[in-house]
Amino acid sequence: MASEKFTSDNITLPAEWRSKRMPLAAVGAVLIVVSIFVFAGIGNGLKPFFHSYLANFMYCLTFCLGALFFVMVQHLVRASWSSAVRRVAELYASTIPFWALLFLPIIITLFGGSDALYSWNKPEGIELEAVLNKLTYLNAKFFTLRTALYFGVFIVAARLYFGMSRKQDETGDREITLKLQRWAGPMIMLFAVALNFAAFDWMMSTDPAWFSTIYGVYIFAASMLSFFAVMILTCYMLQSKGRLQKIVTVEHFHDMSKFQFGFIVFWSYIAFSQFLLYWYGNIPEETIWYRDRMDHGWGTWGLLLIATHFAVPFLGTVSRHVRRRPGLMAFWACFILVVHWLDMTFLIMPNVGGVSLMLILGHALCWIGMVLVFISLFLWRVGETPVVAIKDPWLPDSLAYQNLP
């Protein structure tokens, strides 16, 4: 293990990146505000904006949730290969507290009695008995309590894994790794329950009459896929700035790309399973959700998802030669990050109405704004923190790691 690998200008963020965090946050916030006015052009009150806000919020939060799961599962299986890149994932996961704060606008509108996002918040407007029966579960107070619980689980797990890993940076204590491994199992179980119900509550309940038991798994698949794309892109960009040299190798890119490929297939599998069962069963209360997503331009959007969220990246990254070229994989990571937005849009936005130029424009502005805020928060969170867990006992293994041909 050559010690020059761990000099500070190899394992910390470039200074020019860190200096950009305030402008990024400002531009992001402005764009989000602008999107409110764009949405005002299509009427329907704050409904389009809040739906767009939620879709883009989940777009960013899924990276962090994927990162958190990745960290825990690496400890669970005692993976050594990932030691060189795990810190980046820990850092992404530890931005979750910020996202809890960014969820507050939604909570506040709930207690303001608004049905802009969740129609169940105005019981007097509900006619469907099936929805009325759900009101004991779907109401502002219980919803807020559950949201607090979900964020509680995510934040505790993220702080545990990031905090202990930082402690190990100083002490090099191997016991810490053993402890984190012991906690990985229970934490993943909690995480799974929280993610599943968070997906039900935050996203699925925007259409309170509809239900899908696989929805949480769908969000999980989307989380993992987008997380690996973010990881590949982050490592690539850090390396292009002269960071992580000789630490993250082509072998790590290869492995993350394999995961990304796997989750492209897993996402398609889950998405198709959900569609096939509902399409085949042909029960009105189940197909209504897809009915909304086949009309008013969303049908084309869905076909676009099949092509760009499955077929194109599947064929694009199926080859080992592609996966072992970080530059190419950075392109495919960007591609995945765009189609992930298409996916989140497809899940949420059809509740607002048909596809229109203004809707997409406002939604895209909100998206860019939210991503800028996300980048800014990430840079802020990282600060001077090394992006490699330098005293991780697995690190020598990880540095010497090679994929078998």
Partner 1 sequence: MSDHKPEKKVKPPQAFGWMAEYDDENKFLDAARKVRDSGYTRTDAFAPFPVHGIDEALGIKPTVLPWFTLIAGACGTTTALVMECWMNGYSYPYIISGKPFISLPAFIPVAFELTVLFAAFTTVFAMLGLNGLPKFSNPVFSNPKFDRATDDRFFIWVDSRDKYFNSDKVKALLEGTSPLAVDEVREDDTSTDVPKALYFGILTLILASLIPAVLVWNMRSVRSDKSRWHVFFDMDFMPYRKAQKQTTIFADGRTQRPPVPGTVPRGGYAIDDPMYLGYTPDANTAMITPDSSSVVKLVSAQEGAAQEPKPQEPAPTTQEPTPPAQEPEKPAEKPAQEPTAEPAKQEPATTEPAKQEEPKPEPAKTEPAKTEVAQEPAKPEPPKSVPATPITPAPAAQVPAAQAPAAAAQQPPVAAATPAVPDRKYLEKLPEQFQANDEMFALGRKKFEQVCSACHGFAGYGNGLVSKRAEALQSSYWLQPTSVHDERLQKQPIGQVYYTITNGKGKMAGYGSTLNVKERWAVALYVKSLQRSQNAQATDLSN
Q: Which is nearer to partner 1, 133 or 319 (CB)?
A: 319
Q: Which is nearer to partner 1, 281 or 327 (CB)?
A: 281
CB of 305 to partner 1, least distance (A): 14
Assess 129 for contact with partner 1 (CB under 8 A): no
CB of 392 to partner 1, least distance (A): 21
Stretch that binds partner 1, among 204-212, 279-287, 359-367, 385-393 (CB under 8 A): 279-287
Assess 404 for contact with partner 1 (CB under 8 A): yes
Say how many C-beta atoms besides its own lie within 10 A of residue 335's C-beta.
17
Rounded to an integer, what distance in angstroms lies between the CA atom of residue 185 and that of residue 163? 18
- Give the count of residues interacting with partner 1 (CB under 8 A): 13
Judge whether 59 and 375 are in contact, CB under 8 Å: no
Q: Helices H, strands E: what count in the chain? A: 19, 0
Q: Which is nearer to partner 1, 136 or 282 (CB)?
A: 282
Q: Which is nearer to partner 1, 299 or 354 (CB)?
A: 299
Rounded to an integer, what distance in angstroms lies between the CA atom of residue 232 and that of residue 250? 11
Q: Which is nearer to partner 1, 111 or 272 (CB)?
A: 272
Assess 280 for contact with partner 1 (CB under 8 A): yes
Retrieve residue 248's tokens.
Answer: 């993250």
Retrieve residue 326's tokens.
Answer: 């970080």
CB of 397 to partner 1, least distance (A): 13
Q: Which is nearer to partner 1, 77 or 276 (CB)?
A: 276
CB of 132 to partner 1, least distance (A): 21
The DSSP symbol for 321 reads H
CB of 252 to partner 1, least distance (A): 15
**DSSP helix/strand/coil, 180:** helix
Q: Which is nearer to partner 1, 6 or 275 (CB)?
A: 275
Amino acid (one-letter) located at 316: G
Amino acid (one-letter) located at 403: N
Closest CA relative to residue 218, chosen from 275, 286, 157, 303: 275
Stretch that binds partner 1, among 123-131, 153-161, 230-238, 397-405 (CB under 8 A): 397-405
Contacts of 343 (CB under 8 A, 6+ apart): 222, 267, 305, 309
List 275, 331, 335, 380, residue binding partner 1 (CB under 8 A)? 275
Assess 276 for contact with partner 1 (CB under 8 A): yes
Stretch that binds partner 1, among 98-106, 152-160, 276-284, 339-347 (CB under 8 A): 276-284
Assess 37 for contact with partner 1 (CB under 8 A): no
Contacts of 253 (CB under 8 A, 6+ apart): 232, 235, 236, 323, 324, 326, 329
List 45, 78, 272, 396, residue binding partner 1 (CB under 8 A)? 272
Query: Which helix (H) or strand (E) element contains residue 90?
Result: helix 86-93
List 113, 284, 327, 405, residue binding partner 1 (CB under 8 A)? 405
The DSSP symbol for 95 reads T
Rounded to an integer, what distance in angstroms lies between the CA atom of residue 202 and that of residue 55? 10
Interface characters, 298-337, with partner 1 (x: CB under 8 A): --------------------xxxx----------------
Contacts of 202 (CB under 8 A, 6+ apart): 54, 58, 147
Assess 111 for contact with partner 1 (CB under 8 A): no
Judge whether 195 and 220 are in contact, CB under 8 Å: yes
Rounded to an integer, what distance in angstroms lies between the CA atom of residue 319 and that of residue 173? 40
CB of 310 to partner 1, least distance (A): 11
Judge whether 299 and 346 are in contact, CB under 8 Å: no
Q: Which is nearer to partner 1, 327 or 405 (CB)?
A: 405
Interface characters, 164-183, with partner 1 (x: CB under 8 A): --------------------
Burial of 29 (0-12, 13-18, 19+ CB in 10 A): middle
CB of 311 to partner 1, least distance (A): 11
Assess 2 for contact with partner 1 (CB under 8 A): no
Whether the CA torsion 338, 340, 344, 350 is positive or negative: it is positive
CB of 42 to partner 1, least distance (A): 32
Residues within the interface to partner 1 (CB under 8 A): 272, 275-276, 279-280, 282, 318-321, 402, 404-405
